[in-house]
C-alpha cells in the first residue's frame, strides 16, 4: 500500500498536542492521546516526534511564535513616543480578555521546562526574544526585568484566578521602566 501524501500531518499533530494539554494538562499528553486527537495513526506521532519531549518542544515553540506575533503586531511597542508601560499593560489586557486556555497552555508548557531539560532552550528563546524586543525601547537589564515582571503578573492571574488589573500592571511596569 502506498503511503498517503499528507504535508499537513506534522502541523496537525502539534495542534493536537496543544489541544490535549489545554484539555488534560501535561499529564494527559502522550503519543497515543495526541494521535487520537489528531486523527492520525499512532506511528505518525512517533515518526514526526521520536519522544514526547520532541513533541512538547514543537508545541512550546509554536506557542512562543504566536506570542511573538502578538507582541510584534503591537507596533506601539517600537514607537519611542508611546508609553511603554501602558502598551505592555494593554497587551496583557488583550491576552486575558478572551479565553484563558491558550495562556494556560503556553505557561504549562513553559513551566514544564522545570522538569524537562529539553524544553529549557525554547523557554529561554521566548524570554530572550521578548527582552530583545523590549530592549529597543529601554536598556537590556530593564528589558529582562520587564519580562520577569510580566511573567510574574501573568502567573499570579492564572494561578489565583483574580482578574487581570491593567492599571496595576501599568503602574508597576512604569516603576521598573523608571
**3-class secondary structure, 92:** helix
CA angle 173, 175, 178 (to 5 degrees): 110
The pLDDT value recorded for residue 1 is: 44
Looking at the domain assignment, is residue 8 inside a domain?
A: no
pLDDT of 67 over the 80 cut = no
The pLDDT value recorded for residue 32 is: 96
How many domains would you assign to the chain?
Answer: 1
- For residues 90 and 74, give the distance between their C-alpha atoms in angstroms, rounded to a whole number: 10
- Extract long-range pairs of 16-22: CB within 8 Å, 24+ residues apart: 17/55, 17/56, 17/58, 17/59, 18/59, 18/62, 18/63, 18/105, 21/59, 21/105, 21/108, 21/109, 22/101, 22/102, 22/104, 22/105
Asked if 57 and 109 count as a contact pair (C-beta separation under 8 A), the reply is no
Looking at the domain assignment, is residue 84 inside a domain?
A: yes
User: Residue 54 to residues 58, 73, 126, 140: CA-CA distances in angstroms?
Assistant: 6, 29, 17, 31
Looking at the domain assignment, is residue 24 inside a domain?
A: no
The pLDDT value recorded for residue 16 is: 95
- For residues 79 and 28, give the distance between their C-alpha atoms in angstroms, rounded to a whole number: 42
Nearest to residue 103, comparing CAs of 54, 167, 151, 171? Answer: 151
The pLDDT value recorded for residue 75 is: 73
88-120 residue pLDDT tens: 999 899 888 877 888 888 888 888 999 999 999
23-62 residue pLDDT tens: 999 999 999 999 999 999 999 999 999 999 999 999 988 8
Looking at the domain assignment, is residue 3 inside a domain?
A: no
Looking at the domain assignment, is residue 85 inside a domain?
A: yes
Q: 66: pLDDT confidence band, cut at 50, 70 and 90?
A: confident
The pLDDT value recorded for residue 2 is: 44
Q: 4: pLDDT confidence band, cut at 50, 70 and 90?
A: low
Looking at the domain assignment, is residue 156 inside a domain?
A: yes
The pLDDT value recorded for residue 3 is: 54
Nearest to residue 151, comparing CAs of 101, 87, 95, 97? Answer: 95
Looking at the domain assignment, is residue 131 inside a domain?
A: yes
118-169 residue pLDDT tens: 999 998 988 898 899 899 899 999 999 999 999 999 999 999 989 999 999 9
The parent domain of residue 81 ranges over: 75-177
The CATH number of the domain holding residue 93 is 1.10.357.10
Amino acid at each position: 500500500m502506498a503511503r498517503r501524501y499528507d504535508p499537513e500531518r506534522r502541523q496537525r499533530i502539534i495542534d493536537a498536542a496543544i489541544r490535549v494539554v489545554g484539555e488534560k494538562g501535561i499529564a494527559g499528553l502522550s503519543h497515543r492521546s495526541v494521535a487520537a486527537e489528531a486523527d492520525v495513526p499512532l506511528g505518525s506521532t512517533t515518526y514526526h516526534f521520536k519522544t514526547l519531549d520532541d513533541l512538547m518542544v514543537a508545541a512550546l515553540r509554536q506557542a512562543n511564535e504566536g506570542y511573538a506575533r502578538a507582541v510584534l503586531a503591537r507596533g506601539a511597542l517600537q514607537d519611542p513616543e508611546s508609553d511603554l508601560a501602558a502598551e505592555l499593560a494593554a497587551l496583557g489586557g488583550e491576552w486575558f480578555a478572551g479565553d484563558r486556555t491558550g495562556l494556560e497552555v503556553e505557561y504549562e508548557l513553559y513551566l514544564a521546562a522545570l522538569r524537562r531539560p529539553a524544553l529549557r532552550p525554547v523557554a529561554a528563546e521566548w524570554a530572550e526574544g521578548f527582552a530583545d524586543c523590549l530592549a529597543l525601547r529601554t536598556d537590556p537589564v530593564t528589558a529582562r526585568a520587564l519580562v520577569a515582571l510580566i511573567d510574574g503578573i501573568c502567573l499570579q492571574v492564572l494561578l489565583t484566578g483574580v482578574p487581570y488589573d491593567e492599571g496595576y500592571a501599568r503602574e508597576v511596569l512604569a516603576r521598573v521602566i523608571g
